[in-house]
Amino acid sequence: MSHELLVTILGPDRVGIVAAVAGRLYDLGGNFGDVSFAVLGASFEFSATAELPDQTGAAEVERELAALAELEGATLTVRAFKAGTRAAGTGRVTHRVQLSGGDRPGLIARVSEAFVEFGANVVRLTSERVLETAGTRYVIRFDVAIPPDRAAACLASVSNTAGQLQMECHYETARS
């Protein structure tokens, strides 16, 4: 038998973190479920669900991961977790939306509100400041699950909202 754990790690970014964590979990008999990794400035955030054999508990996994040189200075938590089954349509990405332009407070809030109006679920969100020769450009990427009968209106609304915020908007339908 097996059980699920949630692994969350925050720490200083360095090369090899994903490989080290994935390798150690594999050595412990683990198998990843959903995984998210992001560099945040000079730090990183890693979060993952993992299925492990019943005899491998959260405390052992935490001890093993904490011993990795790549995680020196990181904060690590491993706990029991039940991912469960996603509601139909809410976790499958149907569209990828990217906005870019100048940064200002409230951008993510305003665009997110447009998704809510159409019953769209944000599955993943990333944003970053990109340094360019002409200055800094802010890029926001949404992976969303939009109900098929509301997709055209939702994307038009998001595009209009982006225009009002003086941002470029590009989107595409996700491949299955």
Tell whether the model's pLDDT for residue 159 goes beyond 80. Answer: yes
Tell whether the model's pLDDT for residue 142 goes beyond 70. Answer: yes
Residue after which a domain boundary falls, among 54, 80, 106: 80
Is 89 a domain residue?
Answer: no
Q: CA–CA separation, 32 vs 21, rounded Å?
A: 11
| pLDDT value, residue 85 | 62
Is 26 a domain residue?
Answer: yes
Tell whether the model's pLDDT for residue 118 goes beyond 90. Answer: yes
Residue pair 38/64 in contact (Cβ under 8 Å)? The answer is: no
Here the tokens at position 158 are: 């998001």
Q: H-helix or E-strand containing 27?
A: helix 17-27
pTM attached to this predicted model = 0.78
Tell whether the model's pLDDT for residue 89 goes beyond 90. Answer: no
Which domain does 18 fall in, by range?
A: 2-80
Looking at per-residue pLDDT, the higher value among 90 and 83 belongs to 83
Do residues 67 and 7 both lie within one domain? yes
Do residues 124 and 58 both lie within one domain? no
Residue pair 159/90 in contact (Cβ under 8 Å)? The answer is: no
Q: What is the CATH number of the domain that holds 13?
A: 3.30.70.260
Looking at per-residue pLDDT, the higher value among 103 and 16 belongs to 16
Q: Tell me the per-residue pLDDT of 51-65, one tens digit each, with 9 for 90 and over.
A: 999 999 999 999 999
Residue after which a domain boundary falls, among 80, 103, 119: 80
Strand ranges across the sheet with 43-53: 31-40, 43-53, 2-12, 75-80
Here the tokens at position 96 are: 């990828």
Tally Cβ neighbours within 10 Å of residue 30: 22
Do residues 22 and 57 both lie within one domain? yes
Number of domains within the chain? 2
